[in-house]
Amino acid sequence: MHGVDMLETLRDHEEVAVTGGAGFVGRHLVAALSLLGKKTTVVDHAPLTEDVATLPGVRHVRADLRDYGETLLALQGTDVVFHLAGNASGTESVEKPRHDFHLNALGTCNVGNACLELGVARLVYLSSAIVYGTPLHAPITEDHPTAPFLPYGASKLSGELTLRALHATAGLPVVIGRSFVVYGPGEDPRRAGGEVSQFLRWHLGERPIPVVGDIDRKRRDFIHVEDLCRAMITLAGRGEAGGVYNLGTGTAVSMRELAEAVGAATGRPAKLEADTSSLEDSFTLLADVTRLTGLGFMPRVSLAEGLSTLAALLGPYPELPSARAVFRRETPVRRRRLSPVDEMAEVTSC
């Protein structure tokens, strides 16, 4: 890591927990912590993949973070907690907003309170740049207004506000990182909506790349998952308690530029098919990373390098993406209010 010794940032903390450690980002973070010699508890209801389960110092605890008792038991004995668990799908949040809130907001509230009760030395919460909503300007500083347009953004912001309130009222040693668009090996094509892996999969499958929105106005800050993990470890050691940090690269890439980079990484031009029927997310989502670089962190995996490595890992004809981007759902049919007689008839007919 340029300018930051990751081992130094965690040298006083031996017992570490990663909630959501079986997920895409979580698996990479657990691997990084294992390399640092940390005893890492993966708190996740999902099973661990073999490559994670066999890492030195890693143990697995199944827990539902919506249950406070289970949360307390899972985090006992840990010095540092990285909280990544929750719903990560904006589409799923649109279709099932209560489920999204329970996982992200309630789960985060429980983790924060458990960390207070257990005397954890540091809590790092992985939030999302989606909390900003439609950007008013670029690059986005951490003081940019928060106005999420998806339930996912609202639930992540609710988690932030709860943790910051616990910091203000009870001294919870929390640091919040807002991730921009993360990519890298191990994304699930059935759930991951990030453009990098989606573009590569379509292109490697010899298909045109479908893009919703304006291919030039839609610009994103893409951060490799290894850099994201290094940034979170930096926050654990050097971030200010109660502080918020953008986790990005400080570089914006348009969809046209991303397609050109995909072509360069694979040695043949990529073809885009733009669908401009929806322009809701045709904006620039770019991180101002001044606060993060002020801690000594610099990203080291370039987009070109990340694409080349990922293309080699995916190989020819990988599974094509099936994750959808949904911003609105159909208006649900309202249930009419039943009379007592109708209620009795409905019960007896079951």
Global pTM reads 0.91
2 has pLDDT over 70 = no
Output Rg (C-alpha) for the chain, integer angstroms.
Answer: 21
336 has pLDDT over 90 = no
7 has pLDDT over 60 = no
Token code pair at residue 122: 């540091």
**Which whole number is the average pLDDT over 160-165?**
98
Contacts of 65 (CB under 8 A, 6+ apart): 19, 43, 71, 74, 85, 103, 107, 110, 111
**Bigger pLDDT: 163 vs 8:** 163
107 has pLDDT over 60 = yes
pLDDT of residue 346: 44
118 has pLDDT over 60 = yes
344 has pLDDT over 60 = no
Tens digit of pLDDT for each residue in 123-146?
999 999 999 999 999 999 999 999
pLDDT of residue 332: 59
4 has pLDDT over 80 = no
**Which whole number is the average pLDDT over 203-213?**
95
Dmax over Cα atoms in the chain, in whole Å? 73
pLDDT of residue 204: 97
pLDDT of residue 66: 97
Closest residue by Cα to residue 91 from 158, 182, 153, 23 = 153
5 has pLDDT over 60 = no
Q: Are 21 and 84 in contact (CB under 8 A)?
A: yes
Tens digit of pLDDT for each residue in 238-277?
999 999 999 999 999 999 999 999 999 999 999 999 988 8
Superfamily of domain 6-183+223-250+286-300: NAD(P)-binding Rossmann-like Domain (3.40.50.720)
Confidence band (pLDDT; 50, 70, 90) for 82? very high
pLDDT of residue 192: 83
Give the percent of the chain with pLDDT over 90: 82
Contacts of 286 (CB under 8 A, 6+ apart): 135, 138, 139, 140, 180, 219, 220, 221, 248, 250, 251, 252
